[in-house]
Amino acid sequence: MSEREGGRSHPRHQLDDALLTPVRFSVMAALGSGVEIDFATLRDLIETEDSALSKAITHLVGVGYLSVRKGYVANKPRTWASATPTGTQAFAVHSAALQAIVSGAQAEPDSARRA
């Protein structure tokens, strides 16, 4: 049994630093289902501001979780973002850890009652 499995088994140890801010987490949630979304649409969908979204995307591109493409639509510049396979995997692990934290908290009162 590894140290992580044995000594550090709490699900919070599986949480991903890069996804700990709400905006980054929401960006990955929105892009995690095999879609490509342009900057303005993504901003509206996750209800944030340009600067916060820009920072989040720059960070996620830096860690290899997002890829960004630039181009033009109807003569106007646009930027599209999509999740990389690494990013999708990292988001799945992070979500599973969050789910485990929720499940763990629900299990604790049950075991207390049994004791």
Partner 1 sequence: MTTPDAPDHIDAATASRLLQTASTARDRVQSEIDRHTEARITGWMAAAIFIYVLTLLSLFTAPEGAGSVEGVSGISYVNVLLFPFLAMTQLVQGARDGLRVSVIGSFRGSKSVLFILGLVPFFVLMVLSVASIEYPWWVGLLAAGAAAAPAAASAARSARAAGARGVPQTRGGPLSAMARNVTLGLGIAFGIAGATTPYSWFPVVVLGLMLGLVALLAGYTSRWGLPSIGSEWGQRQWVSFGVSFSLLFVLAVVTARTPWNGPAVAGIAALLIATPLVASAFASGRRR
Q: Which residues bind partner 1 (CB under 8 A)?
A: 4, 10, 12-18, 20, 22, 25-26, 29-38, 41, 45-46, 63, 69-75, 78, 80, 82, 90, 93, 95, 98-99, 101-102, 104-106
Shortest distance, CB of residue 56 to partner 1, whole angstroms?
Answer: 13
* Radius of gyration of the chain from its Cα atoms, rounded to whole angstroms: 18
Q: Cα dihedral sign for 96, 69, 17, 20?
A: negative
Shortest distance, CB of residue 51 to partner 1, whole angstroms?
Answer: 19
Q: Which residue has the tokens 């088994």?
A: 9
Helix axis angle for 50-62 and 22-31, nearest 10°, is 70
* C-beta closer to partner 1: residue 51 or 106: 106
46 touches 26 (CB < 8 A): yes
Q: Which residue has the tokens 């720059």?
A: 58
Shortest distance, CB of residue 113 to partner 1, whole angstroms?
Answer: 17
91 touches 18 (CB < 8 A): no
Instruction: Tally the residues of the chain.
Output: 115
Shortest distance, CB of residue 50 to partner 1, whole angstroms?
Answer: 17
